[in-house]
Amino acid sequence: MPITDFLEKNAKFYPNDIALVEINPELQHNRALTWREYSLIESAPGGKYRREITWREFDTKANRFANLLLSRGVKKGDKVAILLMNCLEWLPIYFGVLKAGALAVPMNYRYTSDEIDYCLDLSDSTTLVFGPEFVGRIEQIFSKLGKLTNIFYVGEDTPPFADNYERYTAYCSSMAPAVPLDDSDDAAIYFSSGTTGFPKAILHSHLALVSSCKTEQKHHSQTRDDVFLCIPPLYHTGAKMHWFGSLLAGGRSVLLRGVKPEWILRAVSDEAATIVWLLVPWAQDILDGIDAGEINLSDYKLDQWRLMHIGAQPVPRSLIKRWKTVFPNHEYDTNYGLSESIGPGCVHLGVENIHKVGAIGKAGYLWETKIVDEKGAPVKQGEVGELAVKGNGVMKCYYKNEKATNEILKDGWLHTGDMAKEDEEGFIYLVDRKKDVIITGGENIYPVQIEDYLRANMKIKDVAVIGLPDARLGEIAAAIIELKSGETCTEEEILEFCRELPRYKRPRKVIFAEVPRNPTGKIEKPKLREIYCGANLVETQIGK
């Protein structure tokens, strides 16, 4: 079955239930009112502060866009690029593309004009849907977009080179188009993070999307009564595939446009959210705000919040310990995944295994895992090797890149590039990215281990460890440390704090600076290497 069947089921059985809510806190002027109250005021800007649609409206909008695409010559197998910030239109557009038999091509909202052009070309996209935030970037490359047969704009003040999405879908049929679909059909192209240059295009089928729905709902037990607060960008597999659990269950979801701690807590309170997926920096910001007295939890209704889960990056044990102290009744979970494995869930900790915080878990529902050496043979329990996963959520290929596909897909197993080990109970622990391992004086150093250790220092907000060239040792470990607001610290304090680490693991350089992260929370280590490799920095050394 195609994933569109789930949407049609919800529209049939729960037509008047709210499916999606969008909240844009930047547009609220009267802070004394609840968000729902404010959205009803006629003077609220554009009436777009808080918007919602039912399952029937969701399905109708998807059908209308699918029929618009078909009327414009879009055929089964064509590619439709989506370049939007999170908004109420995002998911109906995505499902409209799928209902037309086309492939959805979500694009990173941080892409430059050149990256947008590159990804449109790589994916063979013939249609582009974009929002007001991207007008300038599209104008810069408009002369190169002759290959696009359709350009749709979502918003007001439509630029002259595009057609308005709302205006044209309004005249289209609300009935589902008669396009035959099954789970073997191609459904979407997602892009890799592009940490080694321009991103690769990842091709997924409807089978993979449906598998993701089942895995997510099994892991987090979503029901129609749950309300999922979605904050990360929908172009990324992480946010959308966590939402897939709500799609399968027919539950309501809230799209929050903003990450300020008070906005997150107010959304949980006003919208009665029960499940929230956070990135590490957002969880840290909430806890720091509480510790600093900037956030008073008694101002919010949080009793219904049952589950907080984190993914997309290694999770410090110290963070979860702090979280459980503040929110003792929360269940906690973490999921591991890649865009190549249709997002989160191929490895899963489970709420019942909080005593294993620090591990990413075991093979997720409908998944298999193994840890292998460089020849592909399984390593012994406790030894470090590369994590490989297998399941229906594995990508079909890197689109138009057979060489890269063959490097990562072997006999149905996806080799993740993440170094990991398994304990005596079968729980998997990430050690580091294969390409991020630092080799210093012949010893392998895994930066994540040092980062986890340093995060226990209460002055540190964020930290990244990278390898820098060294004439004597080949590479040395450098710690880029971002301090919490108002804190001061010296290199000497950090080095003294690291005395408990084995000597070869201690950082040889300490740099106080901002730690850049991408929209999904991953540290942008290539950017840090570009900044600091070869920089003329004072070296702080231990034991030389």
What is the residue-wise DSSP string for 238-284? HHHHHHHHHHHHT-EEEEE----HHHHHHHHHHTT--EEEE-HHHHH
Q: How far is CA 454 from its chain centroid? A: 24
| Contact criterion met (CB below 8 Å) for 141 and 107 | no
pLDDT at 273: 98
pLDDT at 472: 61
Number of alpha carbons in the 13 Å side-chain half-sphere of residue 403: 0
Among candidates 413, 406, 348, which has minimal Cα distance to 377? 413
pLDDT at 173: 97
Number of alpha carbons in the 13 Å side-chain half-sphere of residue 215: 32
> Which tokens belong to 43?
């003077």
Residues of the chain falling short of pLDDT 70: 28-48, 193-197, 312-314, 432-434, 441-443, 471-474, 519-521, 534-544
Q: Judge residue 8's burial from the number of C-beta atoms within 10 Å of its C-beta, 0-12 exposed, 13-18 middle, 19 or more buried.
A: middle
Q: What is the mean pLDDT of the chain?
A: 89
Give CA–CA dist 198/118, Å, rounded: 8
Task: Give the other-Cβ count within 10 Å of 228's Cβ.
Answer: 25
pLDDT at 431: 78
List, in order of start, the domains of the chain with CATH numbers. Answer: 437-532 (3.30.300.30)
pLDDT at 436: 76
The DSSP symbol for 377 reads P
| pLDDT per residue as tens digits for the range 216-274 | 999 999 999 999 999 989 998 888 889 999 999 999 999 999 999 999 999 999 999 99
How would you classify residue 302: left for phi > 0, otherwise alpha for psi between -120 and 50, otherwise beta? alpha
Which run of H or E residues covers position 72? none
Q: What is the 3-state secondary structure (H, E, C) of 386-434?
A: EEEEEECCCCCEECCCHHHHHHHEECCEEEEEEEEEECCCCCEEEEEEH
pLDDT at 544: 30
Query: At CA 455, angle to CA 452 and CA 457, rounded to 5?
Result: 135
Give CA–CA dist 361/353, Å, rounded: 8
pLDDT at 537: 42
| pLDDT per residue as tens digits for the range 280-317 | 778 988 998 999 899 999 999 999 999 999 876 667 78
pLDDT at 154: 97
| Contact criterion met (CB below 8 Å) for 446 and 437 | yes
pLDDT at 110: 81
The DSSP symbol for 201 reads E
Give CA–CA dist 282/407, Å, rounded: 35
pLDDT at 44: 45
| Contact criterion met (CB below 8 Å) for 343 and 237 | yes
pLDDT at 280: 79
Q: Do strands 307-311 and 331-338 pair parallel, antiparallel, or not at all (unpaired)?
A: parallel
Give CA–CA dist 523/250, Å, rounded: 34
pLDDT at 237: 86
Q: 3-state DSSP call for residue 370?
A: strand
Query: At CA 455, angle to CA 514 and CA 438, rounded to 5?
Result: 75
Q: 3-state DSSP call for residue 111?
A: coil
Number of alpha carbons in the 13 Å side-chain half-sphere of residue 208: 26
Give CA–CA dist 400/13, Å, rounded: 40
